[in-house]
């Protein structure tokens, strides 16, 4: 395949990263992603003991959380690209300032976002999930009221972690994540299982864990022994040149990812119309296949610092070399993880306290997801990270918007519902496929992205964008 073909010889002695360096970033990030999603699965299992209404309420809010969190994690992505490219140029005197600008930008955005959504939390949830059953909605409000307060803490954690990853130190993020997730499990054991607080309990455990993570990482980034460190964190003066570079990546990436998550939110709103059993089955299925998403998340976290540093050092051939290498590596790891899901699908289903009908639907959804994802997911969702590392963000933004709204959202409503209403203005007949209609539309979205992104990668147009660092 042309995408993975070696187009010219690379002098291995001149590579910016050895195989050992790549593994030092990739393995900790993969473990961290698996750890995060495993804990998420455990949390869902714990909440499921409080009934389908509780797990359904948490599932609905988690979809909304993903939309809101994207606002500041997109800035983090922009900042990590700038940090990586500065590291590539070896301008060490500028690295600390870039890191500080990133931390403050992400935190300020998160604080503003938290204030807005907390004030209007009930109208927002009613607008999006008003068709959900009353008990499901009550659990959603309880969960969202607490977990939304932790957004600034998560912004700090993500920003500082991105700085360490850009410098090739993924172990710090892994160790911090380990402590956070142990705390989450312990908190859920106390609040959800011990005290029977349900959705409110898991939200409280999440808040406390994110507070712990922010404190640990802020303490670590003050240490001068790290290539990326920040001195006098409380003394902040905006550097608009650096902020502009961060926003150059962060804004288009934010638009892309926010609209993507908002599209998923609308799909979740569609699923909320299909009943509590379907909501729970969808939540469990998405929870299990997070293991596949964890692979992609790990490689995105590796792709940006590695390719970004190659771009900053003006080593274009190495940017191509490492991007192809990481794409192939993701396919291999994803195949292994997917095989594991196939083998252990029945034991995994036994861990969830949902109805037999929900279990059967979940298994069908999981199997379909595993098969499709192992074939096309890396090309559809890792290649954008390659483009971002080279400051090529507008193309992925346009493709993501079109693909999401035409296929993921519009087609989902047409395929899932028997009657589709367009804002009450007019109605027309749909296909009435229920849950499967939404998932088929999702797979169509993946396929279109894969085709367009692969073509752009092969043509090399992503390397013709004006770089951030000169």
Task: In whole angstroms, give the CA distance from residue 209 to residue 224.
Answer: 26
* Residue 185 near residue 42 (C-beta atoms within 8 A): yes
Tens digit of each residue's pLDDT (9 = 90 or more) over 319-351: 999 999 999 999 999 999 999 999 999 988 887
For residue 144, the model assigns a pLDDT of 81
For residue 186, the model assigns a pLDDT of 84
Task: In whole angstroms, give the CA distance from residue 352 to residue 72.
Answer: 32
Q: In whole angstroms, how large is the CA radius of gyration of the chain?
A: 22
Q: Which two tokens stand for residue 8?
A: 């010219």
Which residues of the chain fall short of a pLDDT of 70?
A: 1-13, 37, 40-41, 43-53, 55, 59, 63, 66, 71, 91-93, 130-132, 422-425, 465-470
Give long-range contacts, CB 8 A cutoff, 24+ apart: 463-466. Answer: 463/316, 463/319, 463/320, 463/390, 463/392, 465/390, 465/391, 465/392, 466/391
Quick one: three-class SS letters along 59-77?
A: HHHHHHHHHHHHHHHHHHH
* Residue 105 near residue 243 (C-beta atoms within 8 A): yes
**pTM attached to this predicted model:** 0.75
Residue with tokens 């379907």: 278
Q: Which two tokens stand for residue 326?
A: 């990481």
Tens digit of each residue's pLDDT (9 = 90 or more) over 217-268: 888 888 877 777 787 777 788 778 877 877 777 778 777 777 777 777 778 7
């Amino acid at each position: 395949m042309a995408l993975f073909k070696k187009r010219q010889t690379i002098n291995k002695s001149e590579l910016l990263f050895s195989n050992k360096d790549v593994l030092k970033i990739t393995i900790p990030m993969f473990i961290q992603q698996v750890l995060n999603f495993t804990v998420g699965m455990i949390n869902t299992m714990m909440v499921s003991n409080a009934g389908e209404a509780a797990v359904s309420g948490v599932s609905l809010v988690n979809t909304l959380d993903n939309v809101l969190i994207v606002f500041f994690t997109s800035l983090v992505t922009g900042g990590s690209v700038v940090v990586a490219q500065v590291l590539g140029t070896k301008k060490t005197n500028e690295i600390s300032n870039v890191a500080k600008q990133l931390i403050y930008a992400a935190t300020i955005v998160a604080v503003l976002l938290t204030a807005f959504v907390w004030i209007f939390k009930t109208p927002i949830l009613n607008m999006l999930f008003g068709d959900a059953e009353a008990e499901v909605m009550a659990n959603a409000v309880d969960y969202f009221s607490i977990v939304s307060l932790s957004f600034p803490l998560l912004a700090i954690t993500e920003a500082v972690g991105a700085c360490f990853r850009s410098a090739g130190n993924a172990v710090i993020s892994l160790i911090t994540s380990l402590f956070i997730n142990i705390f989450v499990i312990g908190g859920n054991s106390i609040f959800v299982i011990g005290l029977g607080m349900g959705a409110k309990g898991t939200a409280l455990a999440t808040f406390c864990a994110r507070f712990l993570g922010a404190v640990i990482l802020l303490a670590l980034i003050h240490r001068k022994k790290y290539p990326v460190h920040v001195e006098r964190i409380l003394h902040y003066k905006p550097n608009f040149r650096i902020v502009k570079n961060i926003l150059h990546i962060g804004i288009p990436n934010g638009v892309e990812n926010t609209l993507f998550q908002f599209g998923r939110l609308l799909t979740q709103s569609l699923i909320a119309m299909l009943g509590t059993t379907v909501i729970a089955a969808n939540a469990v299925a998405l929870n299990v296949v997070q293991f596949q998403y964890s692979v992609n998340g790990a490689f995105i976290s590796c792709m940006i610092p590695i390719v970004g540093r190659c771009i900053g050092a003006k080593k274009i051939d190495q940017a191509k070399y490492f991007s192809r290498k990481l794409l192939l590596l993701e396919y291999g790891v994803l195949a292994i993880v997917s095989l594991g899901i196939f083998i252990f699908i029945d034991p995994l289903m036994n861990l969830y306290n949902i109805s037999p009908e929900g279990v059967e639907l979940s298994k069908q959804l999981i199997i379909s997801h595993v098969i499709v994802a192992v074939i096309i997911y890396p090309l559809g969702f890792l290649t954008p990270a390659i483009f971002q590392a080279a400051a090529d963000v507008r193309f992925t933004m346009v493709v993501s918007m079109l693909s999401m709204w035409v296929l993921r959202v519009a087609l989902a409503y047409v395929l899932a519902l028997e009657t589709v209403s367009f804002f009450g203005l007019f109605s027309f007949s749909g296909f009435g496929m229920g849950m499967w209609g939404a998932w088929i539309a999702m797979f169509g979205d993946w396929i279109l992205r894969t085709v367009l992104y692969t073509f752009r990668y092969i043509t090399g147009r992503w390397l013709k964008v004006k770089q951030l660092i000169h």
